[in-house]
Amino acid sequence: MRSKAKIIIIALVVLAIAVYLIFHFFAEPPPPPVSVPPSVQLLESRLVGRKDGARQWEIWAQSVLQAGESVTLNDMDEIIMFQDDEPYLFIDAQRAVWERKPDILYLHDAVVRDEDETFYLESDLLIWAGSEETLTSPESVFIRWQGLEIDAAEMLLKAQENLLYLKDDVRIRDGSMLWRVESAVYDLDQERMEFFGSLVLEEEVGESE
Amino acid sequence: MNRKIVTLMVVVALLVTSGRFALAQSQVGTLEITGVPTDVAAGRYDREAGVFSADVREIGGALITVKLEDVEITGKTMEWRTDDNYLLFTVDARLTQDDFELTADQVEYFGEDKNLKAEGRVVVTTEDATVYADHLDYDEETDEALFTGNVRVVFSDGVLEGERFLMLLEKSELQFFGSFQGEFTDEENGEQ
């Protein structure tokens, strides 16, 4: 009888810990400094990344696996990135891994869009570094934005400065113009591009007279 | 044959050759900047203003080249306004096409007006002659090339000098304005 009661108490404690984690630890960061079991799997959870209290990103996931400082999310709904606490970018990804301490979010097979779909980005791997507010694609990336179509082997977006760094085998199509450059920096606010290294621009000039 | 007529025929040939200024309006044009280290920004494009600019003056061996059909323009600095198709080359500006070459301190092409201007130390070289002037103004529509300021047309056997020299390419006509003087060598007699 006593052992049965013990089992019930242990089960209740485990359940209570799980409920606590779901509704407090993951639901409303910044996470409280509680001791987390080395490996916990949660279902249908919402994760919110914050910096200085302001929301940076929000993820709904069917499956959340916590292992040490690393949180792996699968079967995700749309990820929402925030700027000034407003939805800024929407991301579909196959898998996400959040390294809590350095606040780095890895997004695998990601497609990023803005609200009115004027911005579209595709990459096999995107890395969001919360402390620096940078979005990196260490692998090839394709971007469609305001009439531009951009391919590059690497990309770095500095969200605070609104600067887009494109590296290696960069191709930028702007209407009839196709830029091929080694690397480029695009000031998204000013709509100015700076091209580094050698450059080739091809342009369809027009109809024959 | 009368030397004057021969001279004029040569000049007409020069004019016909210089009709190659015409920048055709078809095909793919290319702009290349070569010889720039990967950590140096040589070109900038302002999308809002539609202006591309490049400057490679400080980069040894670097060059800006625009190719359109068989016309090639090179220089060390350039500005291209995409909205009205205006092109400006400065510093070692050079336009070539086959055996034709134009060099000047500055070469401008006004795409909307179909007009090409060259300023400062203008030199037009063909197989038959070389024309020196301070300015060149070529109108693609009328097919007229006007050389002004210290104009000097040098042939293998003589020189023509004046202040204003108009080539009416379509009509194969030359017009000399103001005083012009020529100096020719008599090939047969070796006289001047």
Residue by residue, pLDDT tens for chain B (192 residues) are 344 434 443 443 443 344 444 444 446 789 999 999 999 999 999 988 999 999 999 999 999 999 988 889 999 999 999 888 899 999 989 999 877 899 999 999 998 888 999 999 999 998 778 999 999 999 988 888 899 999 999 988 889 999 998 888 777 777 888 888 888 877 655 544
User: Does residue A33 carry a pLDDT above 80?
Assistant: no
How far is it, in rounded angstroms, from Cα B130 to Cα A30? 78
State the pLDDT confidence band at A86, using cuts at 50, 70 and 90.
Answer: confident
Q: How many residues are present in chain B?
A: 192
Question: Tokens 């090939």 appear where?
Answer: B187
Q: What pLDDT score was predicted for residue B69?
A: 81
Confidence of residue A39 (pLDDT cuts 50, 70, 90): low
Position A125 in a domain: no
Strand-pair partners of B130: B125, B154
Q: Would A206 be classed as within a structural domain?
A: yes
The first and second tokens of residue B155, run together, are: 């042939």
> Hey, is the C-beta of B181 within 8 angstroms of any chain A C-beta?
no
Asked if residue B78 lies in contact with residue B86, where contact means CB atoms within 8 angstroms, the answer is: no
> Is the domain of A13 the same as that of A87?
yes
- Cα angle vertex B81, ends B77, B83, to 5°? 170
Number of H helices, E strands in chain B: 1, 14
- Structure-model confidence comparison of residues A36 and A150, the more confident one: A150
Q: Does B52 touch chain A (CB under 8 A)?
A: yes
Domain assignment present for residue A12? The answer is: yes
Domain identity same for A145 and A109? no
pLDDT of residue B102: 94
Is the CB of B24 inside 8 Å of chain A's CB atoms?
yes
Phi-psi region of A109 (alpha: psi -120 to 50; beta: other; left: phi over 0): left
Domain assignments of chain B as residue spans, ordered by start: 3-23+30-35+43-184
Local confidence band at A14 (pLDDT 50, 70, 90 cut-offs): low
pLDDT at B30: 92
Query: Which of the residue ranges A27-31, A95-99, B86-90, B141-145 would you say has the lowest mean pLDDT?
Result: A27-31
pLDDT value of residue B20? 42
The mean pLDDT of A139-147, rounded to a whole number, is 91
**Inter-chain CB pairs, A–B, below 8 Å:** 84
CA angle at B141 for the pair B139 and B142, rounded to the nearest 5°: 70
Does residue A135 lie within any of the structural domains?
no
Q: Is the peptide bond before A138 cis (omega within 30 degrees of 0)?
A: no
Nearest to A97 by CA among A89, A107, A112: A107
Residue A51: what pLDDT? 77
A107 and A146 part of one domain = no
Check whether A179 has a pLDDT greater than 80: yes
Q: What percent of chain A has pLDDT over 90?
A: 35
Burial class (CB in 10 A: 0-12, 13-18, 19+), A131: exposed
A25, A93: one domain: yes
Q: How many domains does chain A have?
A: 2
Note the pLDDT tens digit of each residue in A52-61. Answer: 888 888 888 8
**Average pLDDT in chain A:** 81
Q: Nearest to residue A134, comparing CAs of A155, A159, A154?
A: A159
User: Which of the four pLDDT bands, split at 50, 70 and 90, describes residue A22?
Assistant: very low
Cβ–Cβ contact B27 with A under 8 A = yes
With an 8 Å Cβ cutoff, is A196 touching chain B?
yes
Residue identified by tokens 């720039």 is B36
Give dist(CA B39, CA A198) in Å, integer: 10
Stretch A26-37: mean pLDDT, rounded? Answer: 50
Q: What distance in Å separates the CA atoms of residue A136 and residue B92, rounded to the nearest whole number? A: 41
Residue A132 lies inside a defined structural domain of this protein: no
Residues of B in contact with A185 (CB under 8 A): 41
Tell me the CATH number at A58: 2.60.450
Buried b or exposed e, range A154-188, using 16+ CB within 10 angstroms: bbbbbbeeebbbbbeebbbbbeebbbbbbbbbbeb
**Parent domain of A181:** 140-209
Q: How far is CA A18 from CA A37, A45, A171, in A?
A: 10, 12, 49
Same domain for A144 and A101: no
Is residue A122 one of the residues assigned to a domain? no
For B148, list phi and psi in degrees, rounded to 5. -135, 155
Could you tell me the pLDDT band of residue A36, with boundaries at 50, 70 and 90?
very low
B43 → closest Cβ in A190, A199, A206: A199
Residue reference for tokens 């900047």: B33
Interface ipTM above 0.85: no
Residue of A nearest to B26 (CA): A208
The phi-psi region of residue B150 (left if phi > 0; otherwise alpha if psi is between -120 and 50; otherwise beta) is left
Token couple for A43: 């279902």
Residue A119's φ and ψ, nearest 5 degrees, are -115, 130
CB of B137 within 8 A of CB of B145?
yes
Q: Which residue of A has its CA nearest to B48?
A: A191
Query: Whole-structure pTM over 0.80, yes or no?
Result: no
Min distance A172 CA to chain B CA atoms (Å): 12
Q: Lowest-pLDDT range, A18-27, A49-58, A165-174, B63-72?
A: A18-27
A147 and A81 part of one domain: no
- Mutation to test the A interface, candidates B47, B70, B143, most A Cβ within 10 Å: B47
- In this structure, what DSSP letter does residue A148 have? E
Continuous H helices in chain A: 2-20
pLDDT at A2 > cutoff 90: no
Domain B3-23+30-35+43-184 belongs in CATH node 2.60.450.10: yes
